[in-house]
Amino acid sequence: MIEKARIRSFKDLDVYMNAHAAAILVLKEILPKLPKEEKDDLCDQLRRSVKAVPRLIAEGYAKRHQAKGFQKYLDDAQGESNETQAGLEQCRDAYGKYMDLSVCEKLIDTYDKISRQLYNLSLAWNKFYEKRSYASEVRIT
C-alpha cells in the first residue's frame, strides 16, 4: 500500500502546488506577450483569476474546521480556475501569433486538471467531514 504524505499546510496540497506553478507561468509567459489593447481587459482579468486560485485554496484551508468553510473556497477556486482556462483559450484563439502556443495549450490542460482536482478535493472533503460528524454523533449517544 502506498502511504500518502500528511497534509500539514495548504502548501502540501497537490492542487495548490499546481495552481501556484501555473499562475507563475501565466504571469511570466502569457500576459507579457498579449498586445497592448488587451492590457486593461483580458490581461487584467487573467492576472486576477490566476492569482485567485492558489489564494482561495490557502484561505479556504485556514477554514477547514468549519462545516462549509473550506467547501466554499474550493468552489470559488474552481470557478476562478475555469475562468482562467476560458481566458487562456481566448488568448490562444485571438492572439496565438504573439505567444508560444505549446505553452498556452499546456496551461489550458493544467487548469483543466486543477479544476478537476478542486472538484475531487471538494468531494473528498465532504465525505471526510460527514464521517467525522457521524463519528462524533455516535460517540454522543
Question: What is the domain-level CATH number for residue 115?
Answer: 1.20.1440.60
In a domain, 4, yes or no: no
Mean model confidence pLDDT for the chain: 90
pLDDT at 50 over 60: yes
Q: Can you give the residue range of the structural domain that contains 132?
A: 22-140
At 132, the pLDDT band (50, 70, 90 cuts) reads: low
For residues 84, 85, 88, 89, the Cα torsion angle rounded to the nearest 10 degrees is: -140
Task: Tell me what the mean pLDDT of segment 53-72 comes to.
Answer: 92
At 133, the pLDDT band (50, 70, 90 cuts) reads: low
Q: Given this model, what pLDDT does residue 135 score?
A: 47
Q: Given this model, what pLDDT does residue 89 score?
A: 98
- pTM (2 decimals)? 0.87
pLDDT at 32 over 50: yes
CA nearest to 112, candidates 15, 34, 28, 47: 15
In a domain, 88, yes or no: yes
Number of structural domains (the chain) is: 1
At 134, the pLDDT band (50, 70, 90 cuts) reads: very low
